[in-house]
Structure 1
Amino acid sequence: MPFTVKTQDSLIFSYQEAPLPNTLSTSPFNVSLTNKVRTQAGITNRCQAKEDLGSDLLGRAQATKAVQMCFNETLQRILTGSRTYVVLESMDTLWELHSHFLSKSERLHELINTSDQSEYCRNKSPKTADICQAAGLYHCGRKDTCESKCDKLMKCNLCSIHNKENRWATTQIKTLKRMISLKLDVKDPHVTKEGFSIALGNLYNDKPEVEAEHILGVFAAAGVLKFRTLFKKCAIVMLENINTATVCHFHQVAMKYNQDRLKRACERWLELNLIVHLRYEVTLRDLNMEVLRNILLSPRLFTFTEYHVLQTILSWIFLQVNTEIRLMPLYSTIVAYFISLQNMVVYLEKEIRQKYFGLFQTVRLHGITETQQIEELQKTNLLPQTILLQVVTHNYYALQHGGDMPRAKYFPSEAIRFGFMLTEEPRYWSEIISYCGFYFELKAIQEKKGPSYSFFMQRLNHADTNLPYGITERKAFSLRQERELKYEIMVQTMIDEEWQVFTTGYSRQKFGITKKSCQSEVLLVSGLTMPVYVTFALLFPVS
């Protein structure tokens, strides 16, 4: 079916169906040069006849392509030539914009509706090209007409950055066009000039585009500009790029801009990766103290042992005190630093003990039983002597009374945690833990018939071949035939892009040394994707 498209500058896109090959007319067209016109076909400006030649396959292809492509440079000039120019003064920079694109930003739309007479004019003459990027702008004051002698802007930001000399072109009043002048004060420290520039550039895009490298500055700029589509796009990009380098900053902006979904995603990531990954990075410093405390108190927090929780707290305090550190040191270096503060009694008491005492309360100290770990607590002297005495007394009492925990009664916040990670797909995983002479083997076994995993634990006796060599000779080993135990097995993994929690719930069972009585309840989970976080929580009630 034939069609014709006309544009504002009389350029014509024409297309007509050609007859089938077996019906082509045999009478030739007599076309003279005078009958030829310049018509726009595709991205060219080739010479075509007024009549549509059925055999002109190239012309047909170009005409078809023309109506399927985006606007070419000629049409872009037509569309933008009659629009109003805007000068936005913000962040010590002048940004030249087009008014009809500003409606995407609620903030800029409000400014342009309430703007006064402009202080700037723009040089319309194409013959007065300047070296500088801002050379087309002239300061004329707020009068209806420019003065006889126009004052050029005294400073070009681009030239100042690159230490270049401002070279201005001469102009005349008749070549100047009044522009709309807007001013926007940006006080958000997260907004960078680069992020602001990317946000303004997205005003010209049908769909927002932003890279993860600049996401924080663009997100903050979108919030200042009230650029909703870009704001939502940034939130999606941040959800997909939470890691050790970004999680703390993402959580801060999520709190500031009330982004609950992003906030929950950051906190969920911290529950699983604070002790596994972030504890070894210097970006741990950026984590807010209140957020850190809430994460450590979370029932879904993953940790290998209770001692790892203490290590994380000491590492965070070390980074708060030593703000000049740019690389996370070894943990032994951190311990040595706190030991060196023993002579600074007043500083140690006011700046560390009292200030960060709330963090130490999150540690389940009765789960730290190794001699070397307790000696470290004593040498660093970060806890009051009364609490250290309670830890030693508790461990001695538990060892003498078959693991009894008389003060630990509330399972969710006082059970001792042991954990391991599955980062690949082994068919079998085993780890041995001990507490006051009782030894347990934690297991994860892949089922033969499918991708399911079984998670359980079993008690070991002193003659079990799975025990390491010499463990019964150098460490205490309980010979009690039965021991009642409260426990929970928790598995956390991502399924269908959502973190899922599988658990046995709180169980109570007597563990013996025979095959029938030594094994716990089995937690069977299918559809796992790596990594998998497995936690065994144990509590020994008074026997």
Structure 2
Amino acid sequence: MAHAKTTSELVTIRKSLELAQLTTFVPKIPSSDIKPADGYLLSAPFAALGGLSPSEKKIFTAPLPLRQRYFRIQAGFTNRWQFPYGLSCDLLGTAQANKAFRVCLNETLKRIMTADTPVSLSGEPKVQTSSLALEIQVPWSHLPPQSQKGIELESLRLPSNQAYPYEVIFSHTQQMTKDMEPDVALECLGFIWELHRIYLFKSKTLSQLLISAVESMNINGSENQHRSKKESKHNKQSNSAAQKTKALCKQKSKMKKITISLHVEDPDITRTAFAIALKNLYKTEPEVEEGDVVGVLAAASVLQFPSLFQKCVSIMKNGICSANVCSYYCTACKYKQETLATDCERWLEVNLVPELSSQIQLRKIPQELLQKVLRSPRLFTFNEFHLLKTTLCWTYLQLNPRIQIIPSHETILTFFSRLPKICSFLEREAGQRYITVFQSLRLHGITSSKHLEDLRQINFLPLPWLMQIVSNHYHALENGGDMILQGDFSMQAIRFGLLLKQEPRHHEEIISIYGFFFEIKAVRHEASVYSFYIQRVKHTDPALSFFTAERCPVSLRQEREVKYEIKAQCLMDGKWREFSTDQLTQKFGITKPSCKSQVLKARIPSIPVYVTYALLFPSS
């Protein structure tokens, strides 16, 4: 009997040792004081497995009834089977649950609405939440029936990821007014905004509405007093009772809230933007975030709030980038802000090719703005072909508005080459409106035979245009480089560009025009001093690549008269600065010193620097 007991004890000990050995691989939840709201989230991974971890005693639950749970059979094709009799054997599932447990709980995660309970699990005080909800619901209940019908349409102006508009101004107005009761109710955008009349006079619109409302109220009050005097003659009451009634009427008239209404049709004005504009009525200095600036500027225009309007314009001027330049330009045109529109045009002149050409925002450029930028003498480009590629991409995006990723140049060529070959694209009905855009390009500056062949194959440009380009090239090659188009240097010179950002200190590039080779150079010295110049290179120079030396035409002329201009542009102290050699004419030889142009030196403390080298070969 004792032997049997000993045997059973040994079996029990062995099982406990095996279980202990097994559970050593099971991660345990660290013991700590956990709030019920946080504990429910932390226990969710283990509850999803259908059991408890070895160190858990209970699973936290939400106050609401939970959805019925089922044991999982298999959690993915690569996971282990779920055993129905315990969590300890499901090592992989427990490891995954422990990994989810170790994720930090931030406020955003706590506010996520789970599938089991439709309540927020954040640790915010319930009193504050209920008071805000009450403040939000009360104004809606006071709306007239017509306004309540328009709530569904007006709610589209409030993005789902933004806070309620009343929350934007509630805390600030309470702090500024020291819990003063609001005495003005503004009906606007399907919402009632509770305000204080002493702060409304920064807005010309609201002040006029308030004055009109007060005047109408005074007229109605005087009529009521006149009626009460007539009624008092017929009523025999004591003088003391009449005085008390008058005092109460005056007190009620003083405490009565004035309601004004403002109709807004501008689609740029969202409820959040309007709330930010109203909040700035209570501030000494306007404060606007860049992400809300377009809507707030529109609201400031409707409210006739000059200081806030100018603040928005200033923010937009200092924050122009590829993501907002088009929207800022349209806003500037809409509200007649010429300086802002000029700044947007100036930004596009230097960033159209190097930055915007590779971003999907290129499609948002209006056609008239693109034409204006293409014709600007300050436009920066690496060469004329890069500008043509950018314009082709813009046209492709106009024809394919659903495209959300910038296409490659090969994709664009394939798209246009697959169109019917009846006529060129610009001669079609769909392409005729883009003719003026491509007339703004300097197509005679595209001298590469490969690039011209690509243009011929896609059948984009009219055949007479291509014939004229080829004819101009043939004429220049036959006449030692003399160009036909040389009447207007600012519109007909061939442009090349260098973009200077960080290291290296030396930037150079070999260019070829009608058998003549030049090296455009930019050198950065100490103390942010730059030197820019052009230097002629012999066709036998080692700097030329093998392909260039073998395939490109070569001119044996010892001298070549060149009309050129070197221009450097940069942004300094928020304003665009321009350094230029002006238009110069020089005969370039193949030996020093005649092979080198005049050097443009400039002190430029900021980067990037946009350097343009424009060349034209006059008749010689």
Task: Kindly indicate whether the alpha-carbon contact (under 8 Å) linking 1:107 and 1:224 is maintained by their aligned counterparts in 2.
Answer: yes
Cα shift readout 1:477-506 (whole Å, capped 9, x = no counterpart): 111111111000001122333211111111
* Secondary structure of the structure 2 residue equivalent to 1:515: coil
The residue aligned with 1:90 is 188
Q: Please report how far the alpha carbon of residue 261 of structure 1 lies from its aligned counterpart in structure 2 after TM superposition.
A: 2.1
Q: Could you say which residue in structure 2 is the equivalent of 1:433?
A: 511
Mapped partners of 2:593, 2:479: distance in 1:
25
Q: Pick closer, same or farther for the CA change 1:144–1:479 going to 2, 3 Å.
A: farther
Residue 270 of structure 1, CA deviation = 0.7
- 1:523 is aligned to 600
Kindly state the Cα deviation for residue 345 of structure 1 after the two structures are TM-superposed: 5.3
C-alpha separation in 2, matches of 1:85 and 1:248: 41
Provide closer, same or farther for how the CA distance between residues 397 and 208 of structure 1 changes in structure 2, counting only shifts above 3 A.
Answer: same
Describe the shift of the 1:214–1:487 C-alpha distance in structure 2 as closer, same or farther (beyond 3 A): same
Please say if residues 118 and 179 of structure 1, whose CA atoms lie closer than 8 Å, have aligned partners that are also in contact.
no
Specify whether residues 403 and 74 from structure 1 end up closer, same or farther in structure 2 by C-alpha distance, changes over 3 A only.
Answer: closer
- Match of 1:538, SS state, is strand
Q: What residue is the counterpart of 2:432 in the other structure?
A: 354
- Measure, in 1, the Cα distance between the counterparts of 2:317 and 2:343: 7
Alignment of 1:457-496 (within 5 A): 457-496=534-573
- The DSSP-based 3-state class of the residue aligned with 2:546 is coil
Which position in structure 1 is the counterpart of 2:243?
Answer: none
Q: CA deviation at 1:409?
A: 2.2
The SS at the match of 2:285 is coil
CA–CA separation in structure 2 for the residues paired with 1:327 and 1:437: 39
Q: Indicate conservation of the 8 Å contact 1:493/1:528, yes or no.
A: no
Q: Which segments of 5 or more consecutive residues in structure 2 lack a partner in the other structure?
A: 1-171, 218-222, 226-251
Conservation of the 8 A alpha-carbon contact between 1:302 and 1:533: yes
What is aligned with 2:209? Answer: 111
Structure 1 match to 2:356: 278
Contact 2:396 2:412 in 1 (8 A): yes
Contact 2:489 2:616 in 1 (8 A): yes
Aligned identity (percent) is 45
For structure 1, which segment, 233-242 or 333-342, has the greater mean C-alpha deviation from structure 2 after superposition? 333-342
Q: More helix per residue: 1 or 2?
A: 2
Q: What does residue range 77-476 of structure 1 map to in structure 2 within 5 Å?
A: 77=178, 80-81=180-181, 85-115=183-213, 178-343=256-421, 349-447=427-525, 450-476=527-553
Change (3 A) 1:507 1:179: same
Supply the distance in 2 between the matched residues of 1:485 and 1:369 (Cα, whole angstroms): 17
Structure 2 residue aligned with 1:7 = none
Quick one: distance in 2 between partners of 1:352 and 1:455? 44
Q: Is the 8 A contact 1:341 1:348 kept in 2?
A: no
Asked whether the equivalents of residues 486 and 538 of structure 1 are also in contact (C-alpha less than 8 Å), the reply is yes
1:419 Cα deviation (Å)?
Answer: 0.2
Aligned residues of 1:494 and 1:528 also touching (Cα < 8 A): no
What count of residue pairs does the alignment treat as equivalent? Answer: 418
Q: CA deviation at 1:117?
A: 9.3
CA contact (8 A) 2:417 2:458 kept: yes
Call closer, same or farther: CA 1:410–1:240 in 2, change over 3 Å: same
Does structure 1 conserve the Cα–Cα contact (< 8 Å) formed by 2:173 and 2:279? no
Asked if 2 retains the 8 angstrom alpha-carbon contact of 1:483 and 1:511, the reply is yes
How far did residue 340 of structure 1 move? Answer: 1.9
Note if contact 2:392-2:412 (Cα within 8 Å) is conserved in structure 1: yes
Contact 2:322 2:361 in 1 (8 A): yes
Aligned pairs for 1:502-521 (under 5 A) are 502-521=579-598
Report the Cα distance in structure 2 between the residues aligned to 1:535 and 1:188, rounded to whole angstroms.
42
Structure 1 segments unaligned to the other structure (5+ residues): 1-70, 120-142, 146-173
Q: Displacement, 1:189?
A: 2.1
Structure 1 residue ranges, 4+ long, deviating more than 3 angstroms after superposition: 71-78, 116-119, 343-353
Maintained 8 Å contact 2:286/2:311: yes
Question: 1:497-540: CA deviations, max 9, x gaps?
Answer: 32111111111111111112111111111133110000000001
Which residue number corresponds to residue 4 of structure 1? Answer: none
Q: Deviations over 1:381-408 (max 9, x none)?
A: 2221111110111112222222211233
CA distance in 2, matches of 1:487, 1:325: 41
CA gap 1:403/1:352 in 2 versus in 1, 3 angstroms: farther
With the length of structure 2 as denominator, give the TM-score of the two structures. 0.64
CA drift at 1:430: 1.0
For residues 357 and 596 of structure 2, what CA distance do their matches in structure 1 show?
34
Distance 1:229 1:481, change over 3 A: same
- SS of the counterpart of 2:618? coil
Give the alignment's Cα RMSD to 1 decimal. Answer: 2.7
CA distance in 2, matches of 1:226, 1:437: 63
